[in-house]
């Protein structure tokens, strides 16, 4: 397209993908672009570490104000929900304004839809928002009091179909086991885990399935695969096929949907924007990019969201600068699963399969990148990430670009070569 003197770039969203994209663009292009960020929240919410809230951490520990950061980086911020995107007029309708764009990044994220499973919202503790995590804390405190009083309890964890990232629930079931043991209350609590998946953390391949299976056995947690929930009644999970499971406390991670649906843009039945797998350009809209959880990549995860943001932002930079467009999203996931007594690291190169039942698989041609390891040392790495990412964002810098990530990446590479298989 023919460029204006100062191309207008609008980034919608203040989560991992939105902030990574905005700060990458500012770092790479400086004042060559007129950059605006739009978001319902003027704070960054570090969602991966909210798993600690039910075990005592305050919710506000994971909220980082961003307005002053935008001002420092000379990025106008519009606090509003996007009502509509007009790809013909090339405007974004937000807060009563029509914001023009030459390039648009949609990083509006995902939301939960517990009502897809009848009775789930009414009878389970769900995990997603800070409020839900605080509510779960109260449930766990009540569980602990019952256990210390000698009253047995049955705790069940549940992953229903259409959940796009079950990792946090695996963290929490093992964290609960460690927490109860530390409190001397584990014997009174029967813990079981049910998932619709064919393998534990199915998307991340057989090595994670093996690790989780062994951890469940070590901890005395009953693990059940291919258990597809049909509905939840008071004190009972009803599965397809007729079986059921009683519980005193149910903790579930609901099905995912797009948090914002954009009429007129290509999307699937859950509202996720259909996009080019490499560039993240929305189908039929080369100047609109879907990054992070708003797009149709099957796994919703912070690290993958930042990789998408970097690839899309670099693609726009190449276009603006008249360079050959080479930037492409390479889905190599990296995660660290907390367990309190230790943590599990996983680096997983992924590919799309085209199979809706198992949409991603481990790339066979990149087996050297597939690494999994467990140990106390990985808890240190998780704490480092939990500090480094907010630190970069609150200084107005992208996380997955520049010298700081290069140093951290080198450190993780060394650790993974020593402490993983």
How far apart are the two ends of the chain, measured CA to CA in Å? 47
Does the pTM surpass 0.85? The reply is yes
Q: What value does the mean pLDDT of the chain take?
A: 94
CA–CA gap between residue 298 and residue 379 (Å, rounded)? 27
Domains assigned to the chain: 8-109+259-419 (3.50.50.100), 113-255 (3.50.50.60)
pLDDT confidence of 57, banded at 50, 70, 90?
very high
Enumerate the H helices of 73-226 as residue ranges. 120-123, 130-148, 167-182, 205-219
pLDDT confidence of 419, banded at 50, 70, 90?
low
Report pLDDT for 420.
Answer: 61
On whether the CB atoms of residues 73 and 394 are closer than 8 A, the answer is no
CA–CA gap between residue 178 and residue 175 (Å, rounded)? 5
Tokens at 178, concatenated: 């460690």
Report pLDDT for 408.
Answer: 65
CA–CA gap between residue 3 and residue 308 (Å, rounded)? 24
pLDDT confidence of 416, banded at 50, 70, 90?
low
Average of pLDDT values for 254-275?
97
Residue 2: pLDDT over 90: no
Report pLDDT for 118.
Answer: 98
The values of phi and psi at residue 48, to 5°, are -55, -30
Residue 113's alpha-carbon distances to 51, 232, 276, in angstroms, are: 19, 14, 26
Question: Helix, strand or coil for residue 303?
Answer: helix
Report pLDDT for 400.
Answer: 82
Average of pLDDT values for 1-13?
79
CA–CA gap between residue 117 and residue 110 (Å, rounded)? 18
pLDDT confidence of 1, banded at 50, 70, 90?
very low
pLDDT digits (tens, 9 = 90+) for 190-246: 999 999 999 999 999 999 999 999 999 999 999 999 999 999 999 999 999 999 999
pLDDT digits (tens, 9 = 90+) for 86-129: 999 999 999 999 999 999 999 999 999 999 999 999 999 999 99
Report pLDDT for 83.
Answer: 85
Q: Tokens 């930042």 belong to which residue? A: 306
CA–CA gap between residue 392 and residue 400 (Å, rounded)? 9
DSSP letters, 36-99, are EEEES-SEEE-GGGGGGGGGT--GGGGEEE-HHHHHHTT--EEES-EEEEETTTTEEEETTEEE
- Between 167-182 and 130-148, two packed helices, what is the crossing angle to 10 degrees? 30
Query: Residue 289, CB half-sphere, CA atoms under 13 Å: how many?
Result: 32
């Amino acid at each position: 397209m023919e460029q204006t003197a100062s191309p207008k770039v609008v980034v919608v969203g203040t989560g991992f993908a939105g902030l990574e994209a905005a700060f990458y663009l500012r770092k790479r292009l400086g004042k060559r672009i007129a950059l605006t960020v739009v978001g319902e929240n003027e704070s960054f919410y570090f969602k991966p570490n909210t798993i600690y809230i039910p075990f005592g951490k305050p919710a506000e520990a994971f909220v980082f104000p961003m307005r002053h950061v935008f001002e420092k980086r000379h990025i106008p911020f519009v606090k509003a929900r996007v009502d509509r995107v007009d790809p013909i007029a090339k405007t974004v309708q937000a807060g009563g304004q029509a914001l023009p764009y030459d390039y648009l990044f949609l990083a509006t994220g995902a939301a939960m839809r517990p009502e897809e499973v009848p009775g789930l919202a009414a009878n389970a503790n769900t995990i997603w928002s800070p409020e839900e995590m605080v509510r779960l804390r109260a449930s766990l405190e009540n569980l602990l009091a019952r256990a210390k009083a000698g009253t047995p309890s049955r705790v069940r964890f549940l992953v229903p179909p259409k959940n796009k990232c079950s990792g946090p629930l695996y963290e929490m079931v093992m964290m609960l086991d460690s927490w109860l043991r530390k409190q001397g209350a584990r014997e009174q609590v029967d813990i079981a885990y049910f998932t619709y998946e064919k393998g534990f953390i199915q998307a991340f391949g057989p090595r994670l399935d093996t690790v989780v299976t062994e951890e469940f056995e070590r901890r005395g947690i009953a693990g059940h695969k291919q258990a597809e929930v049909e509905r939840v009644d008071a004190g009972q999970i009803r599965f397809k096929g007729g079986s059921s499971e009683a519980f005193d406390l149910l903790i579930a991670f609901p099905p995912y949907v797009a948090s914002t649906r954009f009429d007129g843009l290509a999307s699937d039945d859950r509202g996720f924007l259909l996009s080019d797998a490499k560039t993240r350009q929305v189908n039929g809209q080369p100047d609109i990019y879907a990054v992070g959880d708003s797009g149709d990549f099957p796994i919703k995860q912070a690290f993958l969201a930042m990789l998408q943001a970097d690839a899309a932002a670099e693609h726009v930079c190449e276009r603006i600068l008249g360079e050959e467009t080479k930037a492409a999203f390479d889905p190599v996931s990296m995660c660290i699963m907390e367990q309190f007594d230790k943590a599990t690291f996983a680096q997983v190169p992924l590919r799309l399969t085209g199979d809706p039942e198992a949409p991603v698989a481990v790339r066979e041609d990149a087996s050297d990148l597939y690494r999994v390891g467990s140990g106390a040392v990985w808890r240190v790495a998780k704490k480092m990430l939990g500090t480094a990412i907010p630190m970069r964002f609150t200084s107005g810098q992208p996380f997955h670009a520049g010298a700081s990530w290069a140093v951290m990446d080198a450190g993780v590479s060394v650790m993974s070569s020593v402490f993983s298989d």
